[in-house]
Amino acid sequence: MATLIIVSNRLPINVTKRANDLHFQRSVGGLATGLSSFRDSHHSQWIGWPGIATDKISEHQKQQISNKLKEQNCHSVFLSAKDIQNFYHGFCNKTIWPLFHYFPLYTMYEDRYWQAYKQVNKAFCDAVIKIAEPDDYIWVHDYQLMLLPELIRREQPNAQIGFFLHIPFPSFELFRLLPWRTSLLSGLLGADLIGFHTYDYVRHFLSSTARIVGTEHSMGSLTIGNRIVKADAFPMGIDYDRYSGAVEDQKVKKRLTTIRKKVGERKIIISIDRLDYTKGIVQRLEAFDLFLSQNPEYKEKVTLILVAVPSRTDVEDYMELRKQVEGLVSRINGEHGVIGWVPVWYLYRFLPFEGIAALYNAADVALVTPLRDGMNLIAKEFVATKTDGKGVLILSEMAGAASELGEAITVNAHNKQAIIDAIKEALEMPIEEQVERNRLMQKRLSRYTVTRWANDFLETLSDVKKTQQQLSVHKLTKPIREKLINEYEKSSKRLFLLDYDGTLVGFAGRPEKAGPDEGLFALLQSLAADSKNEVVIISGRDKATLNHWLGNLNASLIAEHGAWFKDRADVWRVIEPLRNDWKDTIRPILELYTDRTPGSSVEEKDFSLVWHFRRSDPELAYLRSQELKDAVLNLTANLDIGVFEGSKILEVKNIGISKGQAAELWLTKQKWDFILAAGDDYTDEDLFAVLPESAYSIRVGYGISKARFNLDSVYELRLLLEELVKK
């Protein structure tokens, strides 16, 4: 049975040391809970950091930790104090965390942090490779391990890898600030499925991949080499039954009674978070302060219980925040409090489940106003706990949870007056309305629980894998490759029909920069030098460029997708009389669009005009290309002219002309006993369509094609041709 290997920075068990004794504490994080039923029914292993620095423990204790955790199917990746400093506090929590939460001013760009991030991701990779079998599912979690998918992929090219980001993925405008943005993206793209909490984060991720890596998506799917990579939204849920059943728990009941006794008839507002600057705790306190000033009738009638869970206490920004929060709490209590009434009850500690559940139950209002939050499960837990339907959630629109909890009172967490008004509205909301709103949210939360979330993600991962396998059915496998080589060796009349860009060379930012390198030139020269071979380069390029780059070869050339051809040393000929007077009408339109789209350019050939936009902003270029297509089609409706979309180009040319038509000239020339044709885009499909069944047609890259076989890359095709040349 396939094993699920979960990889996250922290293991679900945290190890601490007190007076030289090791303590093992189970954490009840959402992820651990979400996967628990899955973990019971499937084999699973968890890889992560046990939470303690190796410098603090002896070799023997390290062994002890490993052994004890292994009993629970957990594998430790140990970090030294220096790793913790540079990787965890550094790159994770001073670089990625602030930037991805829209705090660029808190973001530090330090090369030593980046070096540590790479090294720790590598250590995680080694741990995965040690236990992973080929058909296992590997599920990597969160921003601490963004390089891991690619690192694993390098070691195990066919592994099934999922990645889930638990924090926001920022807009391109922020992501682009990272000096290591390309490496991080290519790290993530090693996965088969990349999950986010909301569709906004998916959008931001896809826009960054388009702008930085240059890969466009189609309905969230990207083609990376020979793999389809999917990005999608999976809003993480909670263990609904646990929270909705909490009122029945004796321990919770006891705590609830204590709270009620202490607070009396006053209304309770709760605020529970890790003490983190993204949570908007300061702004929330300031709003509560103003609420009391603006609504003095609420004095002594309401208590704010503020729970701040200690977090990342070694990072300066967090130390600073603690001071600020504590200063504010004492100021508010000092200014508004009276004997017998303390407006803010402040707890700086971790609370166990019973404590939290009792607070949720006791509260009239939950104030959840992060400035940015990937999801925020507190909001969901609060709603789930309210079995009698009473209680009001005030939720920041900047939390991922806001897209699912539309019945909450939503606020802009930076707008203090909006928070003040929301508090008042919440305290005064009629019970029937509270119940109605909560019931709708509860229905939703009880359906998409954390278990559903985990299953949904893993099922989608398996579907992506299936799609990849369907595509790779056509892959030029080793046995087919051997057969091809064998037939080549036995034959004496061989025809090669080879496309140029994207097939023999990769794409360049500027098309004129994609000339043949020495290796390619030598390869084509040897191929064409064999008297048994006829080599035809069949390209969309203009004839002058082809002549300049490849004219010295003993090969034939076809230019402009078949409009021109040159049989070896012969002169260039037009395939049929063609008109090109339409160019004068179309050219000014293309030029107008070029002016309006920075980075784009017009290429003019004898019988076609091409609008290139590889170097333009992808979204703007897409929009403009659709407009341009419409404009040109309107003008050419009664001519024999068509508009074709290629790889970051729009080409206007005569409809009848195709690579297929030109290839026929060679196909009918004589009886070939070996034909190999290769191409990479839609113009090559016309070529594949006219080949006899016995021909080896190869599409470089993946996607639906008429070609019989696929190869991953230009590199692989060149390797194959090199092998033939040596025969």
In angstroms, the CA 22 to CA 18 distance is 7
Helices (H) and strands (E) in the chain, counts: 26, 29
In angstroms, the CA 235 to CA 533 distance is 58
| Smallest distance from ligand G6P to CB 181, Å | 20
| Smallest distance from ligand G6P to CB 311, Å | 5
Contact 538, 562 (CB under 8 A): yes
| Smallest distance from ligand G6P to CB 299, Å | 36
* Residue 10 or 153 having the CB closest to ligand G6P: 10
* Residue 10 or 380 having the CB closest to ligand G6P: 10
End-to-end CA gap in the chain: 44
Tell how far CA 389 is from the center of its chain: 37
Instruction: Give CA separation, 202 vs 148, 206, 207, 564, 568, in Å.
Output: 19, 6, 9, 45, 51
Task: State the DSSP string of 538-594.
Answer: E-SS-HHHHHHHHTTSSSEEEEGGGTEEE-TTS-EEESS----TTHHHHHHHHHHHH
In angstroms, the CA 104 to CA 697 distance is 51
Residue 8-37 contact track with ligand G6P, rule CB under 6 A, x = bound: -xx---------------------------
Burial of 298 (0-12, 13-18, 19+ CB in 10 A): middle
* Residue 356 or 524 having the CB closest to ligand G6P: 356
Active site residue 542: no
Q: Which amino acid is at 491?
A: S
With CA atoms as reference, report the closest residue to 6 among 17, 24, 30, 15: 30
For 12, list phi and psi in degrees, rounded to 5. -75, 0
For 372, list phi and psi in degrees, rounded to 5. -155, 140
Contact 688, 677 (CB under 8 A): yes
Written as six digits, the tokens of 286 are 């300031």
* Residue 123 or 620 having the CB closest to ligand G6P: 123
| Smallest distance from ligand G6P to CB 204, Å | 17
In angstroms, the CA 559 to CA 540 distance is 6
* Residue 373 or 560 having the CB closest to ligand G6P: 373
| Smallest distance from ligand G6P to CB 274, Å | 6
Residue 541-580 contact track with ligand G6P, rule CB under 6 A, x = bound: ----------------------------------------
* Residue 215 or 403 having the CB closest to ligand G6P: 403
| Smallest distance from ligand G6P to CB 369, Å | 17
The strand pairing partners of 560, in sequence order, are none
The shares of helix, strand and coil residues in the chain, as percent rounded to the nearest 5, are 50, 20, 30
Contact 504, 721 (CB under 8 A): no
| Smallest distance from ligand G6P to CB 273, Å | 10
192, 499, 542, 680: the catalytic one is 499
For 673, list phi and psi in degrees, rounded to 5. -105, 0
* Residue 30 or 540 having the CB closest to ligand G6P: 30
312 lies in the site for ligand G6P, by CB under 6 A = yes
Written as six digits, the tokens of 243 are 């929270």
| Smallest distance from ligand G6P to CB 315, Å | 9
In angstroms, the CA 563 to CA 578 distance is 8
* Residue 142 or 686 having the CB closest to ligand G6P: 142
Q: How many residues bind ligand G6P (CB under 6 A)?
A: 7
* Residue 454 or 662 having the CB closest to ligand G6P: 454
Residue among 311, 460, 580, 636 that touches ligand G6P (CB under 6 A): 311
SS3 229: strand
636 lies in the site for ligand G6P, by CB under 6 A = no
**Cβ-based neighbour number of residue 683 at 10 Å:** 23
Closest CB to ligand G6P belongs to which residue? 166
| Smallest distance from ligand G6P to CB 20, Å | 24
Beta-carbon contacts of residue 254 (< 8 Å; ≥ 6 apart): none
Residue among 167, 189, 328, 691 that touches ligand G6P (CB under 6 A): 167
66 lies in the site for ligand G6P, by CB under 6 A = no
Instruction: Give CA separation, 103 vs 51, 95, 99, 443, in Å.
Output: 26, 10, 5, 35
* Residue 10 or 605 having the CB closest to ligand G6P: 10
Binding to ligand G6P, residues 105-144 (CB under 6 A) = 142
* Residue 370 or 540 having the CB closest to ligand G6P: 370
Residue carrying the six token digits 């043949």: 516
Tell how far CA 189 is from the center of its chain: 7
| Smallest distance from ligand G6P to CB 10, Å | 5
| Smallest distance from ligand G6P to CB 683, Å | 46
| Smallest distance from ligand G6P to CB 213, Å | 24
Residue among 75, 166, 242, 561 that touches ligand G6P (CB under 6 A): 166
Written as six digits, the tokens of 429 are 């909301």
In angstroms, the CA 189 to CA 141 distance is 14
Task: State the DSSP string of 286-333.
Answer: HHHHHHHHH-GGGTTTEEEEEEEE---TTSHHHHHHHHHHHHHHHHHH
For 358, list phi and psi in degrees, rounded to 5. -65, -40
Residues at the contact surface with ligand G6P, assessed by CB under 6 A: 9-10, 142, 166-167, 311-312
Among all residues, which ones are annotated catalytic? 499
